[in-house]
């Protein structure tokens, strides 16, 4: 055989042994686990550099120790014939582990195999495992199979070899390859390392034990020998019962890294593609872990839960489908509640005040005003009868307000990480803000009430977004430093934390809604006369427009009229459209009042648009 062929054979041996090394680590990770594990969970648990989910899947698929169930993996022994003799199942479990296993872990795995509580096996196993002809007790390491041990049945080596089912030929081969060392009963692992480092190839554990027995004789203890090998970090003992110097572990890791690259270069099989792209099923155990996470933290996002529990990142193809499964899994669980977006939290009892619209904000119907002469004022028109750009201006968020809006037609500002908010007088007084000025996707159109946290200069306050009343509540503390009667501009900005927003006010004012103290006193004078006299809104509008000779935007006019009386923008638009004395100035779009045309009265062409009843 050529040197190159020999080298190839050695490389292949290392690759195959590296896969066995990986499979052993995987098996011990999965043993006793409450549920089958996802590939990512397995990779994370074994923590071997360079090992990928695809490589783990490939290794498990090649081994009869593992079974795939709904794209999760578990020891295959769970799904094998349970009618076999119990001791045979127990023996197979230990053979596949390859090293002693703690009794509680054995009990847990048997519980999964037979569908019984692990406690039942914890009580019965000590009796079964006490059979020294079949098992041995390695103390804290757990129980192993007696067949792994070298039993010194005689002072004659030939008898020991025969009684332990070894062949003289095999013993002679390794005796020639491995050096003789002076063994120390208290330093078994160190002595074994010295042998294996010089032997340059793995040695069956029984033959290594025979070498130790030759040196130690009466001081040789088979269980102690085995336990020291397993518990020390100088030796690797794989499930095929061959021993390696721990220094070869780096060779295994390097080989696995190359294998991972090779596997990555192969086209995905159909099942792999489905596993990578399709959603990850959420088991009852997964759900309970997620609920516990929510209750422990107070709230948690779907991104956090899916990445932590299911180990699927938001940028992976499987995330979108998994998110939908998560929503379905958590729906209806009375221990938690959806807080909007992708956030769930503890159940919250909302204050009564965030479930209703303050009376001062409600826009009541405007009654038709009839003069003693029978003239009718303040009649509302159908939208088709509105003049000019009023047909679109009525959907301006600065014009709309709570109870006086059409959310489906509102011209919302773009959805972004920040929303510009213009504060009106009534909301400043109530500590609220209308959602007509906020893009519906910013907070989300559901659930009905979304608790949020607002922060400003280290101050954190609870606020509530009510998608039914169309208001944000809990803002009074933030508004107390605003001196403008109306028109102050503030921003609500998303932070890195879901459900947390930053409140930012820097003294900016929106000209269309700006009302200072002096102007508010003038409006209050109009209000006093309106409330003490019998006068229509028509007169209120004319007075306000007369005080703004240069004209007013529709938003500006609606805002000032509402300081006199809460009035629908549709009624104000109807009045402007119904009388010859109201018009817009050129291309500016500003509304003005023409006293000279007041006598022309109602525009008769608008009669067909008057709303009935």
Please write the tens of the pLDDT for every residue from 32-85. Answer: 998 898 888 899 899 999 999 999 999 999 999 999 987 789 999 999 999 999
Assess contact for 52 and 261: CB atoms under 8 A: no
CA atoms within a 13 Å half-sphere pointing along the CA-CB vector of 422: 21
Assess contact for 422 and 487: CB atoms under 8 A: yes
Which residues on adjacent β-strands are paired with residue 418? 493
Beta strand 449-456 pairing with 500-509 = parallel
Using alpha carbons, select from 106, 116, 105 the residue that is nearest to residue 82. 116
CA 419 – CA 422 distance, rounded (Å): 10
Structure tokens at 64: 């009869």
What confidence score (pLDDT) does residue 105 get? 97
Which residues on adjacent β-strands are paired with residue 236? 244
CATH number for 412-513: choose from 3.30.460.80, 3.30.160.60, 3.40.50.720, 2.40.330.10. Answer: 2.40.330.10
609 pLDDT exceeds 70?
yes
613 pLDDT exceeds 80?
no
Convert the pLDDT of each residue in 163-203 to its tens digit.
999 999 999 999 999 999 999 999 999 999 999 999 978 99
Question: What's the pLDDT band for 275 if we cut at 50, 70, 90?
Answer: low
Convert the pLDDT of each residue in 121-173 to its tens digit.
999 999 999 999 999 999 999 999 999 999 999 999 999 999 999 999 999 99
For the entire predicted model, the pTM comes to 0.65
For 496, the enclosing helix (H) or strand (E) is none
Residue with tokens 């041990």: 149
447 pLDDT exceeds 50?
yes
Residue with tokens 């296993």: 101
Residue with tokens 């009794």: 103
For the chain, give the mean pLDDT.
Answer: 94
């Amino acid at each position: 055989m050529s040197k190159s062929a020999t080298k190839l054979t050695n490389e292949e041996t290392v690759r195959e042994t590296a896969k066995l090394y990986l499979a052993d680590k995987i098996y011990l990770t999965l043993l006793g686990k409450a549920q089958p594990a996802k590939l990512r969970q397995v990779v994370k648990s074994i923590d071997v550099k360079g090992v990928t989910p695809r490589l783990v899947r490939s290794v498990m698929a090649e081994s009869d120790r593992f079974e795939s169930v709904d794209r999760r993996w578990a020891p295959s022994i769970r799904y094998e014939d349970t009618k076999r003799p119990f001791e045979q199942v127990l023996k197979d479990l230990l053979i596949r582990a390859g090293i002693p296993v703690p009794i509680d872990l054995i009990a847990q795995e048997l519980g999964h195999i037979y569908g019984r509580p692990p406690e039942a096996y914890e009580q019965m196993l000590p009796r079964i495992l006490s059979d020294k002809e079949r098992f041995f007790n390695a103390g804290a390491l757990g129980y192993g199979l007696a067949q792994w041990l070298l039993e010194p049945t005689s002072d004659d080596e030939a008898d020991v070899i025969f009684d332990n089912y070894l062949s003289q030929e095999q013993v002679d081969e390794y005796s020639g390859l491995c050096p003789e060392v002076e063994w120390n009963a208290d330093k078994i692992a160190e002595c074994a390392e010295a042998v294996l480092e010089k032997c340059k190839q793995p040695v069956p554990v029984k033959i290594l034990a025979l070498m130790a027995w030759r040196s130690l004789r009466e001081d040789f203890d088979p269980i102690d020998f085995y336990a020291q090998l397993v518990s020390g970090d100088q030796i690797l003992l794989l499930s095929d019962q061959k021993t390696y110097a721990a220094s070869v572990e780096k060779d295994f890791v390097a080989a696995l890294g190359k294998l991972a690259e090779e596997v990555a270069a192969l086209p995905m099989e159909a099942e792999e593609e489905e596993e990578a792209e399709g959603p990850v099923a959420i088991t009852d155990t997964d759900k309970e872990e997620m609920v516990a996470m929510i209750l422990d933290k107070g709230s948690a996002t779907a991104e956090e839960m899916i990445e932590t529990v299911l180990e699927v990142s938001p940028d992976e193809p499987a995330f979108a489908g998994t998110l939908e499964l998560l929503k379905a899994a958590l729906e209806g669980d009375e221990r938690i509640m959806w807080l909007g977006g992708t956030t769930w939290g503890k159940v919250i009892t909302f204050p009564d005040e965030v479930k209703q619209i303050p009376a001062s904000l409600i826009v009541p119907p405007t009654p038709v005003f009839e003069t003693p002469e029978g003239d009718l004022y303040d009649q509302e028109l159908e939208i088709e009868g509105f003049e000019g750009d009023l047909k679109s201006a009525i959907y301006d968020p600065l014009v709309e307000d709570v109870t006086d809006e059409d959310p489906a037609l509102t011209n919302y500002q773009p959805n972004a990480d920040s929303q510009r908010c213009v504060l009106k007088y009534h909301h400043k007084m109530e500590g609220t803000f209308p959602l007509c000025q906020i893009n519906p996707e910013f907070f989300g159109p559901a659930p009905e009430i979304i608790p949020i946290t607002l922060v400003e200069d280290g101050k954190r306050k609870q606020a509530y977004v009510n998608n039914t009343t169309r208001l944000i509540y809990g803002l009074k503390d933030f508004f107390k430093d605003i001196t403008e009667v109306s028109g102050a501009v503030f921003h609500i900005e998303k932070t890195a934390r879901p459900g947390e927003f930053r409140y930012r006010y820097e003294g900016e004012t929106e000209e269309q809604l700006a009302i200072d103290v002096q102007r508010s006193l003038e409006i209050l004078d109009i209000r006093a006369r309106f409330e003490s006299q019998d006068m229509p809104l028509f007169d209120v509008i004319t007075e306000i427009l007369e005080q703004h000779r240069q004209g007013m935007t529709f938003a500006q006019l609606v805002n000032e009229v509402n300081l006199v009386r809460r009035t629908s923008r549709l009624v104000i638009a109807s009045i402007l459209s119904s009388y010859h004395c109201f018009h817009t100035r050129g291309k500016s779009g500003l509304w003005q009042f023409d006293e000279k045309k007041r006598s022309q009265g109602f525009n008769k062409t608008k009669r067909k648009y008057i709303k009935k009843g």
